[in-house]
């Protein structure tokens, strides 16, 4: 387990920040790690780097609250499961874990991260996937795929997709296909999160500080990411426990936890910050997943508070006596006092933490709050 350090370089002075409620709030140094204390390779350890995902919380933060309020052998519920950080960390601590998400791709990712794998079968799958066959394109690509990928990349992606069928772990390789597709899109290297238009030729790249050209192939990513994924799931298999994990695709306002829960640990979408379907548009296309954009909470402010309160109310209904609800939020609109009250929750603690680059390339400081509540 990581030993939490102090905030920034001044161990004596906790930082004071003007939070949304216009009150000077103290940053909790125990939950605010510097880059040196918590480098990227630790934040994205083992399965947490299987696929890029904007908006996940760091596993070390989840671990702190699971150890504080979770019960080994009990059940933790995350109604906005995203890439499955809560489930992975709960499982490693021997806690049953369940979650739901409206994005079919996020559900796939959370399942793949928490599944069990066997080394020999993974190796056999890799051999099968690397055995390239016909170079001619026997498959039809959708207009989206034709538009966002170079012809050679389309061929390589579709051929890989065709080889997934006979493998033992098709969902793992579908995530690899998606990760490779993300890297192979006709986008600027410095604009991978939400590119609007494909790029056709050379451009000045702010990431590499030189003239770059868009990627024209996918095979090198497919090979590299397949090997990387196999290594990462095997690394996690040494930490993984037999505690049950359940991932449900659906709307948190209507999905109930699969049993009585001891802890809710979640990070809801924030209004207007990240479009969770659009960030993986290429995956929905290539994997043929159903999009449920209209049910995604946070696409606008209107109705946001009611929607989150409804999801929390449903979770609270399954909470055992003494159970806690821990919500990680960037409550810049000051909505959460009302949301918790509407969900029948009483706020017990409100902690401000400094976030080390949570949502990709952003300027300026970024803070989020952890709200601890109970019915």
Ligand X SMILES: C[S@@+](CC[C@H](N)C(=O)[O-])C[C@H]1O[C@@H](n2cnc3c(N)ncnc32)[C@H](O)[C@@H]1O
Binding site for ligand X (CB under 6 A): 53, 55-57, 80, 82-83, 85, 100-103, 106, 251-252, 267-269, 276, 295-298
Instruction: Report the nearest approach of ligand X to the CB of residue 371 (Å).
Output: 14
Helix orientation angle between 85-92 and 59-69, rounded to the nearest 10 degrees = 50
3-state helix, strand, coil in the chain (%, to 5): 35, 15, 45
- In angstroms, the CA 71 to CA 96 distance is 9
Q: Which residue, 81 or 373, is less far from ligand X as judged by CB? A: 81
Instruction: Report the nearest approach of ligand X to the CB of residue 15 (Å).
Output: 24
Rounded alpha-carbon distances, angstroms, from residue 280 to 52, 99, 257, 343: 9, 19, 26, 31
Instruction: Report the nearest approach of ligand X to the CB of residue 359 (Å).
Output: 9
Q: Which residue, 106 or 167, is less far from ligand X as judged by CB? A: 106
201 CB-contact burial (10 Å; exposed 0-12 / middle 13-18 / buried 19+): exposed
Q: Which residue, 44 or 374, is less far from ligand X as judged by CB? A: 44
157 CB-contact burial (10 Å; exposed 0-12 / middle 13-18 / buried 19+): buried
The sign of the CA dihedral 220, 221, 222, 225 is positive
Q: Which residue, 80 or 282, is less far from ligand X as judged by CB? A: 80
Say whether 5 sits in a helix, a strand or coil: coil
- In angstroms, the CA 61 to CA 253 distance is 25
Instruction: Report the nearest approach of ligand X to the CB of residue 28 (Å).
Output: 19
Q: Is 357 left (phi over 0), alpha (psi -120 to 50) or beta?
A: left
Q: Which residue, 269 or 323, is less far from ligand X as judged by CB? A: 269
Instruction: Report the nearest approach of ligand X to the CB of residue 278 (Å).
Output: 11
Q: Which residue, 86 or 223, is less far from ligand X as judged by CB? A: 86
Report strand pairing: 96-101 vs 75-78.
parallel
Instruction: Report the nearest approach of ligand X to the CB of residue 102 (Å).
Output: 4
Instruction: Report the nearest approach of ligand X to the CB of residue 232 (Å).
Output: 16
Instruction: Report the nearest approach of ligand X to the CB of residue 110 (Å).
Output: 8
- In angstroms, the CA 250 to CA 125 distance is 30
Q: Which residue, 83 or 114, is less far from ligand X as judged by CB? A: 83
- In angstroms, the CA 216 to CA 315 distance is 46
Say whether 278 sits in a helix, a strand or coil: helix
Q: Which residue, 100 or 247, is less far from ligand X as judged by CB? A: 100
Say whether 204 sits in a helix, a strand or coil: strand
Q: Which residue, 271 or 323, is less far from ligand X as judged by CB? A: 271
**Beta strands, E only, the chain:** 16-18, 24-26, 75-78, 96-101, 203-205, 210-212, 245-249, 261-266, 319-329, 346-354, 367-374
Instruction: Report the nearest approach of ligand X to the CB of residue 191 (Å).
Output: 21
């Amino acid at each position: 387990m990581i030993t939490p350090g102090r905030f920034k370089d001044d161990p004596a002075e906790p930082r004071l920040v003007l939070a949304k409620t216009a009150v000077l709030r103290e940053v909790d140094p125990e939950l605010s790690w510097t880059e040196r204390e918590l480098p990227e390779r630790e934040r994205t350890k083992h399965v947490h780097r299987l696929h890029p995902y904007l908006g996940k919380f760091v596993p070390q933060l989840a671990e702190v609250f699971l150890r504080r309020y979770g019960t080994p052998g009990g059940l933790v519920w995350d109604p906005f499961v995203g890439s499955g950080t809560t489930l992975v960390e709960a499982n490693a601590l021997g806690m049953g874990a369940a979650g739901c998400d409206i994005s079919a791709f996020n559900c796939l990712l959370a399942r793949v991260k928490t599944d069990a794998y066997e080394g020999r079968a993974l190796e056999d799958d890799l051999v099968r996937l690397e055995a390239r066959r016909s170079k001619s394109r026997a498959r039809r690509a959708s207009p989206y795929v034709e538009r966002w990928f170079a012809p050679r990349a389309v061929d390589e992606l579709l051929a890989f997709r065709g080889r997934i069928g006979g493998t033992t772990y098709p969902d793992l390789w579908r995530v690899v296909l998606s990760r490779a597709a993300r890297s192979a899109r006709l986008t600027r290297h410095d604009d991978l999160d939400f590119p609007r238009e494909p790029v056709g030729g050379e451009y000045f790249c702010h990431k590499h500080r030189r003239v770059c050209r868009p990627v024209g192939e996918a095979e090198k990513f497919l090979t590299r990411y397949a090997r990387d994924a196999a290594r990462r799931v095997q690394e996690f298999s040494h930490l993984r426990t037999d505690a049950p994990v359940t991932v449900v695709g659906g709307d948190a306002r209507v999905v109930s936890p699969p049993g009585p829960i001891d802890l809710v640990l979640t990070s809801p979408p924030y209004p207007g910050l990240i479009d969770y379907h659009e960030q993986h548009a290429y995956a929905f296309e290539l994997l043929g997943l159903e999009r449920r954009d209209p049910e995604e909470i946070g696409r606008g402010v209107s109705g946001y508070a009611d929607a989150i309160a409804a999801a929390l109310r449903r979770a609270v209904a399954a909470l055992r006596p003494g159970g806690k609800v821990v919500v990680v939020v960037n409550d810049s609109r000051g909505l959460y006092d009302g949301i918790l009250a509407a969900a029948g929750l009483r706020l017990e603690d409100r902690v401000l933490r400094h976030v080390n680059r949570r949502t990709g390339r952003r300027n300026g400081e970024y803070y989020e709050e952890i709200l601890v509540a109970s019915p």
